[in-house]
């Protein structure tokens, strides 16, 4: 079972919005050096909604080649069209991704039965490990625990990325889930609480700028070292909050640019971080002690 710190990686772009593969490779190398346990590519933080199909596949392929077996690659393959999600998962498998990450269909607001059939169709069509992704703040419709548990019975649906931030609901899921079904926290401010309840790791935005600390926090939680995990979380908590001061990934891409890890590129309809947002993120970086950190160049 995949455990630990799973970074929801940004997609570096040049100032004109074109993809910056050289920076992506440097960023992945840095994450692996810092201990990230897996690389999540072309997810929400990776601006999957603004890249076309060819770019989507190019990003997955680049991540697979760069990781070269050093860490698993989790490829974002979600879509609100079941046929498109199946095609993306097929491409990810062909390109060598280790897992697909498939979000609840957005905008069309499917029923719980519709969600079940959507994810079952993907799993039946593409023979690879699939991780569900529940983020009701973006998709509006969210999966119920009963639906998740139905899907957990499908052999190649192996876990869920839970970005709901609903700890009681997460506790119920962890209580009822099969032992071989992984639950990952994905709401940075509340994810450690879910770890203490038995979650298997964290899909993190904060890990983009603090990979080693997030790795240490996850490992401490898995080892039962509550005091050390809490100490790291307290240090990072302002980042957990301020990296969402504007729509993700606006703040985290600005922070990485300040660290010299990537350029300023971001695609419309997302915009660069506002001056007020910059002040908030800068203060959080300073409190975490990483404002002057330098990622791989």
Q: Which pLDDT tens digit goes with each residue over 153-209? A: 999 999 999 999 999 999 999 999 999 999 999 999 999 999 999 999 999 999 999
Side-chain half-sphere exposure of 158, counting CA atoms within 13 A: 14
Q: Which of 37, 26, 30, 31 is nearest to 4 (CA)?
A: 37
Active site residue 161: yes
* Burial of residue 152 (number of CB atoms within 10 Å: 0-12, 13-18, 19+): buried
Where along the chain do its domains lie? 4-234
Q: Which of 207, 294, 214 is nearest to 248 (CA)?
A: 207
Q: Which of 150, 233, 220, 134 is nearest to 185 (CA)?
A: 134
pLDDT of residue 167: 96
- How many C-beta atoms surround the C-beta of residue 26 within 10 A? 18
pLDDT of residue 290: 86
Which is the catalytic residue, given 161, 184, 228, 253?
161
Contact yes or no for 105/135 (Cβ under 8 A): no
pLDDT of residue 297: 36
Intervals of the chain under pLDDT 50: 293-297
Active site residue 133: yes
Which is the catalytic residue, given 99, 107, 116, 133?
133
pLDDT of residue 135: 96
Give the right CATH number for 4-234 from 3.20.20.70, 3.90.1200.10, 3.90.180.10, 3.30.365.10: 3.20.20.70
pTM of the model: 0.95
pLDDT of residue 293: 44
């Amino acid at each position: 079972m995949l455990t630990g710190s799973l970074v929801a990686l940004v997609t570096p772009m040049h100032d004109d919005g074109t993809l910056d593969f050289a920076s992506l490779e440097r960023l992945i190398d840095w994450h692996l050096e810092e201990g990230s346990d897996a690389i999540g590519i072309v997810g929400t933080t990776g601006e999957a909604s603004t890249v076309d199909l060819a770019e989507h596949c190019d990003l997955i392929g680049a991540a697979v080649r760069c990781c070269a077996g050093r860490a698993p690659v989790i490829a974002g393959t979600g879509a609100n069209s079941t046929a498109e999600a199946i095609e993306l998962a097929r491409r990810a498998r062909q390109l060598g991704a280790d897992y697909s990450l498939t979000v609840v269909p957005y905008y069309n607001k499917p029923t719980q039965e519709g969600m079940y059939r959507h994810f079952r169709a993907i799993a039946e069509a593409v023979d690879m490990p699939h991780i569900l992704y529940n983020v009701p703040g973006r998709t509006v419709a969210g999966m119920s625990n009963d639906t998740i548990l139905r899907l957990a019975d499908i052999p190649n649906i192996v876990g869920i990325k839970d970005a709901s931030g609903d700890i009681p609901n997460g506790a119920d899921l962890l209580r009822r889930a099969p032992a071989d079904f992984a639950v990952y926290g994905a709401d940075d401010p509340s994810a450690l609480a879910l770890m203490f309840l038995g979650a298997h790791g964290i899909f993190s935005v904060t890990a983009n700028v603090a990979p080693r600390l997030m790795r240490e926090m996850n490992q401490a939680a898995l080892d039962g070292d509550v005091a050390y995990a809490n100490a790291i979380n307290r240090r990072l908590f302002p980042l957990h909050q301020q990296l969402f001061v504007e729509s993700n990934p606006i703040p985290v891409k600005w922070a990485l640019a300040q660290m010299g890890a990537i350029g300023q590129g971001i695609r419309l309809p997302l915009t660069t971080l506002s001056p007020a947002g910059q002040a908030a993120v800068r203060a959080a970086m300073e409190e975490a002690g990483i404002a002057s950190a330098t990622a791989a160049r």
